[in-house]
Amino acid sequence: MSDRLPRSAPGRRSVLRGSVAASAAVALPALGGAAAPALARSGRPGADWGVQAGDITAHSGLVWVRSDRPARMIVETSATESFARPTTWRGPLLGPGTDFAGTTRLRGLPAGEQIHYRVVLADPDDPRRTGRPVTGTFRTAERGRGKGARFVWSGDIAGQGWGINPDLGGYRLFEDMRRLDPDFFLCSGDTIYADGPIEPSVTLPDGRVWRNVTTDEKAKVAETLAEFRGNFRYNLLDENLRRFNAQVPGIVQWDDHEVCNNWYPGEILDDDRYTVKDVDVLAARSLRAFSEYFPVSSLSPGKGGQDTDGRMYRVVRHGPLLDVFVLDMRTYRNANSPGRQTDDPQGILGARQLDWLKRELSRSRAVWKVIASDMPLGLVVPDGDTDFEAVAQGDPGEPLGRELQIAELLRHIKRRRITGTLWLTTDVHYTSAQYYDPERAAFQDFEPFWEFVSGPLAAGGFQALKLDGTFGPQQKFIKAPDRANTSPMETPQYFGEVDIDGSSGELTVRLRQDGGEVLFSKTLEPGRVGQ
């Protein structure tokens, strides 16, 4: 199937103009220092870290910015890039309590429209003293099927010591994705590698040298709140990412490396790099920094400044064609183990999240229900010699351990006749497509469905994992390196694209690699239970 040409992107000129001020941050890694904003008292507030939008629906969304000093956040929105007759949104006061970052909620937006926005930072003591506006744009979801919907997904950023390489032009995959002009970007976890220090250079097996942009916070594993904040700031030093953020809104979830490798609640680390051994303490600090650096509807302050429930899992509704169910397979899981339990109500989702997912899938009237999973279902992901990190544990028989929750969910989808489910994930650092077929499975009380894997964005590549036969996966496509931790100079980086046709409702998945080349394409028909 030939690729559909990207739609035009109104307001591109304003987006690029708004990115000019932010581009200076690449040459100024010292901005990563947590104390800098508090000391920079002269002049006007600046927003060198760019802007982001997130969790955009037909009528609402979030806008994010970070100031270089205390400031009042003000957002203006308009139907045109000239900002004639703008609507003004008074945002929060940005200060050290949130690392000078903040999010403003936008409500009552028109559906199916290109929204232009600009963020102005004002001196809290003299509102007339404002910094240079920083601009962005996004499209709200259609009220009807309209022109369809398109988004991209991937994850795994700055992993295994492969950070921002100026010789390669930084995180180039973000520019490849931006050129497709998607409606949004689903970041499927490992948004940072808090457990992965970045060295100035790494010598590759063939003798070439990989160079990294470095910061103080990336010189060691993250333990303090300041170090976690510095990890999130590190990625924003990349101009490709800031330009992408100004044009493409995000739907973001987390996985393990936002805290440390393969973590689970209650874990006590046996790792000499850490002085803080309690993973729950590290996770709380990471979650706070995550909520400060990403516009996430369930983590951001609600109406009247009241906090929401502080959970990562949520559903983002993108018009009648698409609901995105964002899972959290990290916060509520039980300890990693051999996974042979015959009864496991906690599993990988926790009982409350599983009930929520079943209920919300049943309520959804969207043509397609994308389940954004931060871990794969049928790929066997080990944790040491005897334990397992994801759902599968290598036993191809009846469901055991965490598989029991997935079996319950798949049975629910079948019996409630829930149509159009599709699983997307990242995590394993290669790209593949799995078709789950009950005719081949040990557990057969479900309807067939697809799972697509794509990543990393800027991290090491790893070999393919084994499949677990419990749910009957067939690997229809795979591309992976033949050794562990190959650098982005040695093997491609990957992202996926989902394109839903507004007329027919057909959904096409394309697995792409850097440069935009399509490696695999699959078109799915709407209206089928499971898929």
**pLDDT per residue as tens digits for the range 384-403:** 999 999 999 999 999 999 99
Q: Which of 106, 140, 174 is the last residue before a domain boundary?
A: 140
Mean pLDDT within 421-426: 98
Q: How many CB atoms lie within 10 A of CB 298?
A: 18
Cα–Cα distance, 400 to 94 (Å, whole number): 48
Residue 278 is classified by DSSP as B
Residues 397 and 422 in one domain: yes
Residues 98 and 183 in one domain: no
Q: Give SS3 for 77.
A: strand
Residues forming beta bridges with residue 264, ordered by sequence position: none
pLDDT tens, position by position, 197-229: 999 999 999 999 999 999 999 999 999 999 999
Residues forming beta bridges with residue 139, ordered by sequence position: 114
Residues 427 and 327 in one domain: yes
Cα–Cα distance, 307 to 301 (Å, whole number): 5
Residue 141 is classified by DSSP as P
The residue to which tokens 């309590």 are assigned? 97
Q: What is the pLDDT of residue 165?
A: 98
Q: Is residue 59 part of a domain?
A: yes
Cα–Cα distance, 280 to 104 (Å, whole number): 29
Q: Is residue 240 part of a domain?
A: yes
pLDDT at 16 over 60: no
pLDDT tens, position by position, 353-374: 999 999 999 999 999 999 999 9
Can you list the pairs that 94-98 forms with residues at least 24 positions away whose Cβ atoms lie under 8 Å? 94/65, 94/66, 94/67, 94/70, 94/121, 95/70, 96/37, 96/38, 96/70, 98/292
Residues 450 and 510 in one domain: yes
Q: Is residue 3 part of a domain?
A: no
pLDDT tens, position by position, 307-316: 456 899 999 9
Which domain CATH number covers 415?
A: 3.60.21.70
Q: Which of 79, 112, 140 is the last residue before a domain boundary?
A: 140
pLDDT at 306 over 90: no
Residues 129 and 153 in one domain: no
Residues 293 and 208 in one domain: yes
Q: What is the pLDDT of residue 41?
A: 42
Work out how many domains the chain is built from and give that number: 2
Q: Which of 82, 117, 140 is the last residue before a domain boundary?
A: 140
Residue 134 belongs to domain spanning: 44-140
Cα–Cα distance, 270 to 279 (Å, whole number): 11
Cα–Cα distance, 402 to 227 (Å, whole number): 33
Kindly state the tokens that stand for 153: 């997904």
Mean pLDDT within 72-86: 94
Q: Is residue 509 part of a domain?
A: yes
Residues 129 and 191 in one domain: no
pLDDT at 24 over 80: no
Q: What value does the mean pLDDT of the chain take?
A: 91
Q: What is the pLDDT of residue 17?
A: 36
Strands 250-252, 184-187: parallel, antiparallel or unpaired by DSSP?
parallel
- Which parts of 339-493 are beta strand (E)? 368-372, 382-383, 387-388, 421-425, 431-436, 449-453, 473-479
Q: Give SS3 for 294.
A: coil
pLDDT at 37 over 80: no
Buried b or exposed e, range 301-335, using 16+ CB within 10 angstroms: beeeeeeeeebbbbbbbbbbbbbbbbbbbbbbbbe
Q: What is the pLDDT of residue 201?
A: 97
pLDDT at 38 over 90: no
Cα–Cα distance, 165 to 171 (Å, whole number): 8
Q: Is residue 8 part of a domain?
A: no
Q: Which amino acid is at 285?
A: R
Residues 98 and 220 in one domain: no
Which domain CATH number covers 50?
A: 2.60.40.380
- Give the pLDDT band (50/70/90) at residue 42: low
Q: Are 136 and 53 in contact (CB under 8 A)?
A: yes
Q: Is residue 21 part of a domain?
A: no
Q: What percent of the chain has pLDDT over 70?
A: 90
Cα–Cα distance, 11 to 412 (Å, whole number): 44
Residues 116 and 155 in one domain: no
Q: Are 430 and 515 in contact (CB under 8 A)?
A: no
Q: What is the pLDDT of residue 147?
A: 87
Q: What percent of the chain has pLDDT over 90?
A: 87
20 contact partners, CB below 8 Å, separation of at least 6: none
Residues 294 and 405 in one domain: yes
Kindly state the tokens that stand for 327: 């899972």
Residues 314 and 371 in one domain: yes
Mean pLDDT within 83-104: 96
Residues 476 and 354 in one domain: yes
Cα–Cα distance, 37 to 59 (Å, whole number): 34
456 cis-preceded (ω within 30 degrees of 0): yes
- Its sign, for the CA torsion 454, 458, 464, 468, is negative
pLDDT at 20 over 90: no
pLDDT at 70 over 50: yes
H helical segments located in 192-326: 225-235, 239-247, 279-293
Q: What is the pLDDT of residue 407?
A: 98
Q: Is residue 9 part of a domain?
A: no
pLDDT tens, position by position, 431-479: 999 999 999 999 999 999 999 999 999 999 999 999 999 999 999 999 9
Residue 208 is classified by DSSP as -
Q: Is residue 36 part of a domain?
A: no
H or E segment and range at residue 178: helix 172-179
